[in-house]
Chains A and B, each alone.
Chain A
Amino acid sequence: MAKITRQELLKIAHISSIELHEDEINPTLQQLENVLNYAQRVQEVAADVRSENPSTPNGYAGLRPGSLAVNVFREDVAVKTDPKPLLKLAPDGEEDFFVVPKILDN
């Protein structure tokens, strides 16, 4: 069974850059555990693949069966675009820059 501690959840929220309010923590913990408990069933069969492909680090490298995808290469050419329409979408900006709150607190 997946068991997530409050501290683990807060760490994941920090990594995700999402604030969690006190009243959101317990319901979120419960919902995450439900999904993860269900998802754990992948372990039942995953071991078969790993033992088949001992030479690849994770057992899933290389082309996937049935896939038609191939690597696509193109020239690395800069395309000139007008930045103004994009800059206009910014919540805050000055000339050709995005303006953000200060990085360090006083």
Chain B
Amino acid sequence: MNTLAFATITELQQKLASKEISPQELLSYYLDRFAKYDGEIGSALEIFDKESILKDYKPQGILAGIPGIIKDNIAQEGRNLTCASKILKNFKATYDATATARLKAQGALLVGRANMDEFAMGSSTETSAYQKTKNPWDATRVPGGSSGGSIAAVAAGLVPWSLGSETGGSVRQPAAFCNLVGLKPTYGLVSRYGLVAYASSLDQIGIATRTVRDNAIVLSAIAGLDAKDSSTLPVEPTDYTKLLDGKIKPGLRIGVVENAMQAEGMDSEVLAAIEQAITTLEGLGAKVKRITLPMMDYSAAVYFILSRAEAASNLARFDGVRYGLRSKASTLSQMYCKTRHDGFGPEVTRRILVGNYVLSVGHAGEYYDNAKRVERLMRREYVEAFKDVDMLVMPTHPIPAFKFGAFDVDKLQMDLQDYFTCSMNITGIPAISVPCGFTSQNLPIGFQLVGPHLSEDLLFQTAHAYEQKTTWHTRNPKGF
């Protein structure tokens, strides 16, 4: 049965259809793998018992009988929902997120809650209040973040797919660190109803899988208009696998973002792997053009300001009154201040403080207003770029997975981990990170394809054609 561990959703569907294995057996198989390997990896905050996972299971839908894991900031009714924070330690979701409900309606089996950076604030999953998650490719290194648990679980062959969330690159970056396909959909394509808000103008639920086709299957299950989230776009249910025939769109024009490729700090092995990927795309018939996006160099600064400002507002709700942790204090205002001090970790506290600083009288003009102005420039730059090319290619991340504690002293360098990914969150466009090689130390490398709003079908088609020409996605970490 070991061949099942790293099977794709498509392969599992065939095994289920031919009755080679039953959904119950498949679920038991993966639950056993969690029991055996997750003590070492630490990807899950909780794995549910088999009976409760199968409760209400109906063998129908595009994910019928396929187990997956959900990041612990997406509500699953009756289950704990902690955002890996002490402040929500005993909080139980009273309803399903729309994404959760749609997955269940398509027959998916949701096995647990995945570890993450506290409130999705981090790039290494080290800010979780509960545990570290290790990179299955090298246990001395981080899996990336903030969706590190979701990604590590798939990478170690514990489940075939997972949901994460993206505010500045939190699915794509760990996917690149762990040899997976990671999607950040268009802003508004996937409902955020039931996703705990971090920065609402940037947040979007994302998907991690072994292959492009698997990613398209999961997106087909969760995408589209939702009356419960007014920021969703009027998109009808779509089969995102329909264009996956191993070919790219005839005459596809790709723009390689040169200022990303030549950015300071780019690892030479990562750069070489991406140049090789570009050659492969040219071999498939793509017309490649080198372009520059000067505004991208401001994206991390814009991201710092907007994400912290929105977080300061969104996280005001955690005050010890209606749910979550409450610290003992003699007055109400002392209770607020003590609860939030005791309940939030240092990274979350810092982001709230920066957020209220950049919004405060005397500083909002210098920071928040300017960031909103530059956001317009970034959006305009992408609109102009997509007049000349159909999509962009750039690194997902300048370096491979780093060691635990690498940025403990210099927090700013940790913050700058979002350099290549956050501009898509700021502008709302979709991007997909795809495996494209390994370093000499056997660490995975990914690159991203970036398209205009609602170009997911084109991104999947191109990424899939690329994947069919390579074997990187078929490599798995040893020891699992």
Contacts and interface: CB of A to CB of B under 8 A. Distances in A.
Interface of A: 4, 8-9, 12-21, 24, 28, 31-32, 34-36, 38-46, 48-50, 58-60, 64-69, 72, 74, 85-86, 89-92, 98, 100-105
Q: Looking at B308, B319, B367, B382, which has the most chain A CB atoms within 10 Å of its CB? A: B367
A66 B320 contact: no
B321 A16 contact: no
Contacts of B379: 64-67
A28 B331 CA distance: 26
Nearest to B316: A17
A1 to B, nearest CB: 12
A35 B304 contact: yes
Contacts of B341: 18-21
Contact of A105 (B331, B360, B416): B331
Contacts of B374: 42, 45-46, 49
A68 B453 contact: yes
Contacts of A50: 373
B367 A16 contact: no
Contacts of B356: 12, 15-16
B395 interface: no
A22 to B, nearest CB: 12
Contacts of B334: 101
A17 B319 contact: yes
Interface in B332-358: 332-338, 340-341, 344, 346, 349-350, 352-354, 356-358
A31 B360 contact: no
Contacts of B295: 45
Interface string B148-169: 0000000000000000000000
Q: For B186, B231, B377, B382, which residue has the most chain A Cβ atoms within 10 angstroms?
A: B377
Q: Is the interface of B mostly helix, strand, loop or mixed?
A: helix
A92 B304 CA distance: 36
A29 to B, nearest CB: 10
A43 to B, nearest CB: 6
A100 B353 contact: no
A105 to B, nearest CB: 5
Residue of B304, B366, B373 with most partner-chain A CB within 10 A? B373
Contacts of B404: none
B350 A66 contact: no
B469 interface: no
A46 B308 CA distance: 19
B477 interface: no
A42 B340 contact: no
Nearest to A14: B337
11 contacts: A9-B353, A16-B353, A24-B346, A28-B353, A32-B354, A34-B412, A35-B350, A38-B300, A69-B233, A89-B324, A105-B330
Contacts of B332: 100-103
Interface of B: 91-92, 94, 186-188, 227, 230-231, 233, 295, 298, 300-302, 304-305, 308, 312, 316, 319-326, 329-338, 340-341, 344, 346, 349-350, 352-354, 356-358, 360, 366-367, 369-377, 379-380, 382-383, 411-412, 415-416, 427-429, 452-454
Contacts of B366: 40, 43
Contact of B298 (A45, A103, A105): A45
B412 A35 contact: yes
Contact of A46 (B329, B358, B370, B411): B370
B428 A66 contact: yes
A66 to B, nearest CB: 4
Nearest to A21: B341
A28 B453 contact: no
Contacts of A16: 312, 340, 352-353, 356
Q: Nearest 6 CB-CB pairs, A to B? A: A91-B326, A46-B370, A49-B373, A19-B341, A89-B323, A65-B379
A12 B349 contact: no
B415 A49 contact: no
Nearest to A59: B373
A13 B379 CA distance: 33
Given A32-B354, A39-B301, A39-B367, A68 B337 contact: no
Given A45-B295, A64-B375, A66-B452, A12 B360 contact: yes
Nearest to B370: A46
Nearest to B355: A16
Nearest to A91: B326
Contact of B324 (A19, A24, A91): A91
A43 B379 CA distance: 17
A79 to B, nearest CB: 11
A90 B357 contact: no
